[in-house]
Amino acid sequence: MMRPNTLNLESLVPRHVQRFEPYIPSRPEEELRKLYRFQKLYRLNNNENPLGPSPQALEAIAGFHPASGCYYPSGDCFYLRQGLAERFQLNPDQFIVGNGANEVIGMVIHAFCQEGDNIVTADKTFAVYEWVASFSGLETQLVPLQGFSYDDPELLRRMNGKTKIVFLCNPNNPTGTYWDRSRLCRFLDAVGIQHLVVLDEAYAEYVQCPDFPDGISLLHEYPNLIVFRTFSKIYGLAGFRIGYLAASGSLTDMIRRTAVVYSVNALAQVAALAALGDNEHIQRTREVVQEEKNFLVPAIRKKGIPIQADQGCFVMLRMPINDTLVYRKMLQRGIMIRSMTGFRFPNWIRVSIGQHEAMEAFLAALNEVLDDAQ
């Protein structure tokens, strides 16, 4: 009997997966160097910690016995959840750790949503909520930002009986705007407990404004609230892929059912637990980011370039030329920024705050690119 030589992917693959457009991450530095021929690369595209991992995490990583790599890690990040519970005065069962916060987004959506349900979020925010919903066959209601900020009345208006989860990024990536405590609580009160609210606080540790809400402290008041945090940003462990969520025990009991145990490797768990206690590193990172923002923002304003600089370790600039051209021209000069067309911000770029040398290099390259454009 003849064996057919082509797969019928039309019938094998669900339509919502066929329709989904996969995200293509940046190529490794060496490959980019071959294409763009830069000498040195300053990575200002992923909002990584300009100081790197905390010294305590580095020490813990160095102390990790390579031979123990043959053993499975703690399947549910036992000690890290103990550490998180102690820090936030909650029960360890109220935490679920994932292979980066991206994994916990998937866990939450899969735990609560089924065919016909929808999620609601902003149109210009962290893209992964929309991605996971799309390739899971769910509808995403995208609400336009108002003045760079989440639009609470419109978010409420778009919710319907099929809405399971509202995703809020606070402070928002990429605009850096945030809802203060009273605005967030008014929104949570208005949503009611028929829907879940996810509060993604990936950049919360960078915010020092007194009215910024600590989502984890609100878990006692709002049983439908789920808070995401990550070790990729201020803790400087992006390469280890580790993040977590906190929620009421009854919610984590459900979410845990969609969590793949052992997805967080042993080294990441060790590094994260050590980083969690390094308050000095967090403080130093905040100071460096603030100092460099204080250097960068006026320099950009002086050039007459519109800038959106609020909370977080990044700023956005509206360029007089197309952002993807700026990306290529900056990369030729060894500066990697994020072009924002893909975030639905055409002609904007996002720049991560780096150390002073990187900010100087960025400004010098930007001057050249702007001169070229004239």
Residue ranges binding other proteins (CB under 8 A): 21, 24, 26-27, 31, 35-36, 123, 127, 130, 319-322, 324-325, 327-329, 332, 339, 341-344, 346-347, 373
At its nearest, how many Å lie between other proteins and the CB of residue 339?
Answer: 6
At its nearest, how many Å lie between other proteins and the CB of residue 323?
Answer: 9
Is the CB of 237 or the CB of 331 nearer to other proteins? 331
Is the CB of 319 or the CB of 358 nearer to other proteins? 319
At its nearest, how many Å lie between other proteins and the CB of residue 145?
Answer: 12
At its nearest, how many Å lie between other proteins and the CB of residue 299?
Answer: 21
Is the CB of 35 or the CB of 260 nearer to other proteins? 35
Is the CB of 21 or the CB of 115 nearer to other proteins? 21
Cβ–Cβ < 8 Å for 84, 92: yes
Is the CB of 51 or the CB of 127 nearer to other proteins? 127
Cβ–Cβ < 8 Å for 308, 176: yes
At its nearest, how many Å lie between other proteins and the CB of residue 144?
Answer: 10
At its nearest, how many Å lie between other proteins and the CB of residue 37?
Answer: 9
At its nearest, how many Å lie between other proteins and the CB of residue 328?
Answer: 4
At its nearest, how many Å lie between other proteins and the CB of residue 291?
Answer: 29
Is the CB of 185 or the CB of 321 nearer to other proteins? 321
Is the CB of 74 or the CB of 324 nearer to other proteins? 324
Is the CB of 12 or the CB of 24 nearer to other proteins? 24
The full 3-state SS of the chain, as one line of letters, equals CCCCCCCCHHHHCCHHHHHCCCCCCCCCHHHHHHHHCCCCCEECCCCCCCCCCCHHHHHHHHCCCHHHHHCCCCCCCHHHHHHHHHHHCCCHHHEEEECCHHHHHHHHHHHHCCCCCEEEEECCCCCHHHHHHHHCCCEEEEECCECCECCHHHHHHHCCCCEEEEEEECCCCCCCCCCCHHHHHHHHHHHCCCCEEEEECCCHHHCCCCCCCCHHHHCCCCCCEEEEEECCCCCCCHHHCCEEEEECHHHHHHHHHHCCCCCCCHHHHHHHHHHHCCHHHHHHHHHHHHHHHHHHHHHHHHCCCCEECCCCCEEEEECCCCHHHHHHHHHHCCEECEECHHHCCCCEEEEECCCHHHHHHHHHHHHHHHHHHC
